Amino acid sequence: MPSNKSVSDAPIVQFTNCRILRDHQLQREDLWVREGKILNPEKLFFDEKGSADVQLDCKDSIIAPGFIDVQINGGFGVDFSLATDDFKSGIDLVSQKILSHGVTSFCPTLVTSPPSVYHQILPQISVRNGGAHGAGILGAHLEGPFISKEKKGAHPEHCLRTFEAGAFQDLLATYGSLDCVQIVTLAPEMRRSSEVIQELTKRGICVSLGHSVANLSQAEEAVQHGATFITHLFNAMLPFHHRDPGIVGLLTSDKIPAGRRVFYGMISDGIHTNPAALRIAHRAHPKGLVLVTDAIAGMGLAPGRHTLGQQVVEIDGLNTYIAGTKTLSGSVATMDTCVRHFQEATGCSVETALEAASLHPAQLLGIEHKKGTLDYDSDADFLMLNDSLYVQATYIAGEEVWRQDVSGM
């Protein structure tokens, strides 16, 4: 009779006494893991006649896919838009620290910067798997500089750029390389943006609309050319107007190509978006909502002055402003806080709140076959949470990489 040895020598771990988020429902069943992947127990029993080598009692925890943050500018004193000699150790620090907030993969985000900054920083960002060293890096999110002056928000005006005659070549010259780029945020009303959107999409790069004064038809045209995301909905775009709802109108547009879904980021920190606006967006288009932190270097630090790229920002409680102004500049919220606030503000189910931070960002990036779900054969990146959605432990590739220290509580 074959044992599990016939397929693999790797140990099989069985997580018991838990509720697993699978098929949009919390289900009371065990989770089986081998070699960093979620295992189908039926195949194990019937094909391999195998069994678990290790059993772990989860004490009735919720097990959910690890969170994916597709817009994070830094944290814990590290600013991803600052070219420093120790940039790599900075990104390592953030990827380690966000494990405690349930983030198992992320897109380090650069705000509008001079070309020299992109040329210095982008070669130092490499796509990598997560592990004990920290959350996995899915690729960079470049927010700007091809955005609207009127809706620049916290982005430095002197660094903003437009597309000239060789639009895509302009973009390449500005960034230097697209090798590790996963998302580009641009303003779709800019001349020649359509050809840029098409070129980026052709290369498998997600195009996001944001920091923009686009009307609805300009936004719809961008989606028809391949754009699939909206950067922090409601923030840095024209406010909703009943005769021309602008980019916000994409949530209920009937001009979205068949089979295509538009996703939208929301900073659910209680500051950037009023709970009523969060509820309106969620009820209008629940399957497109992606929670993002938009966190800056000051996340995890005391109030005071910090940086966001070329700007100085001040943290006052949960508010972050460009120094000397009332212009909001990113957040200091952590992903687990955003998930809890989203659930509280919308009254949505626990499953819905968790999927907004895991399944939806994975679908946006086209990686839902391996991340963002607990389907069989997907990566065993998952969290243990209590019923109030506080993270108790974080696992990457089936290995525990962080656990809540209960001794000091």
Given this model, what pLDDT does residue 50 score?
80
* Main-chain phi, psi angles of 329, to 5 degrees: -140, 85
pLDDT tens digits for range 199-241: 999 999 999 999 999 999 999 999 999 999 999 999 999 999 9
Q: Which CATH superfamily is domain 4-64+373-403 in?
A: Urease, subunit C, domain 1 (2.30.40.10)
pLDDT-derived band of residue 1, with 50, 70 and 90 as boundaries? very low
pLDDT tens digits for range 282-306: 999 999 999 999 999 999 998 999 9
CATH class, 66-365 region: alpha beta
Q: What is the mean pLDDT of residues 109-136?
A: 97
Whether pTM exceeds 0.85: yes
How is residue 261 written in tokens?
């879904």
Burial of 46 per CB tally in 10 Å (0-12, 13-18, 19+):
exposed
Inter-residue contact 136 to 395 (CB < 8 Å): no
pLDDT-derived band of residue 5, with 50, 70 and 90 as boundaries? very low
**Is 375 marked active-site?**
no
328 appears as a binding residue in the annotation: yes
Phi-psi region at 359: left, alpha or beta (left = phi > 0; alpha = psi -120 to 50): alpha
| pLDDT at 6 exceeding the cut of 90 | no
pLDDT tens digits for range 73-91: 999 999 999 999 899 999 9
Q: Please indicate whether the domains covering 4-64+373-403 and 66-365 agree at the CATH topology level.
A: no
Q: What are the structural domain ranges in the chain?
A: 4-64+373-403, 66-365
Given this model, what pLDDT does residue 374 score?
98
What average pLDDT does the structure give for the chain?
Answer: 95
285 appears as a binding residue in the annotation: no
221 appears as a binding residue in the annotation: no
253 appears as a binding residue in the annotation: no
pLDDT-derived band of residue 4, with 50, 70 and 90 as boundaries? very low
- CB half-sphere exposure, 311, CA atoms < 13 A: 29
Catalytic residue, chosen from 69, 294, 379, 381, is 294
Given this model, what pLDDT does residue 9 score?
79
